Amino acid sequence: MIIQPANRTLSVKEYYFSIKNKEIARLNAARAAKGEDPIINLGIGSPDGSPAPEAVEALCACARRSGVHGYQSYVGIPELRDAIAAWYKRWYGVELDPASEIQPLMGSKEGILLLSLAFLNKGDKVLVPDPGYPTYTSATYMCEAQLVKYDLVEADGWYPDFGQLESMDLSGVKLMWVNYPNMPTGAPARQDVFERLVDFARRHGILLVNDNPYGFILNQPQSILSVPGAREVCLEMNSLSKSHNMAGWRVGMLVGAADVIKEVLKVKTQMDSGMFRGIQEAAVVALNQGPEWYEGLNAEYRARREVACRIMDAIGATYDREAGGLYVWGKVDPTAFEPGEKCIAEQMSDFLLYNAGVFLTPGFIFGKNGAGHVRISLCANVPTLTRALEKIKAIIP
In a domain, 153, yes or no: yes
Q: Is 314 domain-assigned? A: yes
* pLDDT of 173 higher than 80: yes
In a domain, 274, yes or no: yes
Maximum C-alpha span of the chain: 64
Rounded to the nearest integer, the mean pLDDT of the chain is 94
Which secondary-structure segment (H or E) carries 71?
none
Residues 329-388 pLDDT 10s: 999 998 877 777 688 898 999 999 999 999 999 999 999 999 999 999 999 999 999 999
Q: Is residue 1 part of a domain?
A: no
Residues 115 and 142 in one domain: yes
Q: Averaged over 158-180, what is the pLDDT?
A: 97
Residue 2 inside a domain? The answer is no
Single out the residue in 237, 269, 289 at which a domain terminates.
Answer: 289
Q: What integer pLDDT is reported at residue 137 of this predicted model?
A: 95
Same domain, 234 and 145: yes
Question: Residues 327, 320: contact at Cβ < 8 Å?
Answer: no
For the chain, the 3-state helix, strand and coil shares in percent, each to the nearest 5, are: 45, 15, 40
Task: Find the distance separating the first CA and the last CA of the chain, reported in whole Å.
Answer: 51
b/e code 244-283 from CB counts within 10 Å (16+ = b)? bbbbebbbbbbbbbeebbeebbeebeeeeebbbbbbbbbb
Do 170 and 35 share a structural domain? no
- 263 with 390, same domain? no
Q: Do 276 and 375 have their domain in common?
A: no
Tell me: do 277 and 321 sit in the same domain: no
CA distance 153 to 304: 26
Strand partners, 175: 126, 207
Q: Are residues 99 and 185 in the same domain?
A: yes
Tell whether 208 is covered by a domain. yes
pLDDT confidence tier of residue 202, bands split at 50, 70 and 90:
very high
What is the CB neighbour count within 10 angstroms for residue 162? 15
Domain C-terminal end among 289, 309, 335? 289
Q: Which residue, of 262, 289, 316, is where some domain finishes?
A: 289
**271 and 234 together in one domain:** yes
Q: Tell me what pLDDT residue 396 has.
A: 87
Torsions phi, psi of 253, nearest 5? Answer: -160, 150
Q: Which domain holds residue 58?
A: 53-289
In a domain, 243, yes or no: yes
Dist. CA 181–CA 187, nearest whole Å:
6
Of 239, 193, 236, the C-alpha closest to 214 is: 239
User: 266 and 370 share a domain?
Assistant: no
128 residue type, one letter: V
* Structural domains in the chain (count): 2
CATH (domain of 358) = 3.90.1150.10
Residues 243-280: pLDDT tens digits? 999 999 999 999 999 999 999 999 999 988 899 999 99
Assess whether 83 and 154 both reside in one domain. Answer: yes
* 234 bridge partner residues: 208
Same domain for 186 and 316, yes or no, is no
**Phi-psi map region of 320: left, alpha, beta (phi>0 left; psi -120 to 50 alpha):** beta
Q: Are 104 and 112 in contact (CB under 8 A)?
A: no
Considering Cα of 320, then 192, then 215, then 142, what sign does the dihedral take?
Answer: negative
C-beta separation of 304 from 378 below 8 A? yes
Calpha distance 385→287 (Å, rounded): 29
334, 305: one domain? yes
Would you state the pLDDT for residue 149? 97
Residue 87 pLDDT: 98
Lowest mean pLDDT among 17-21, 320-324, 340-344, 392-396: 340-344
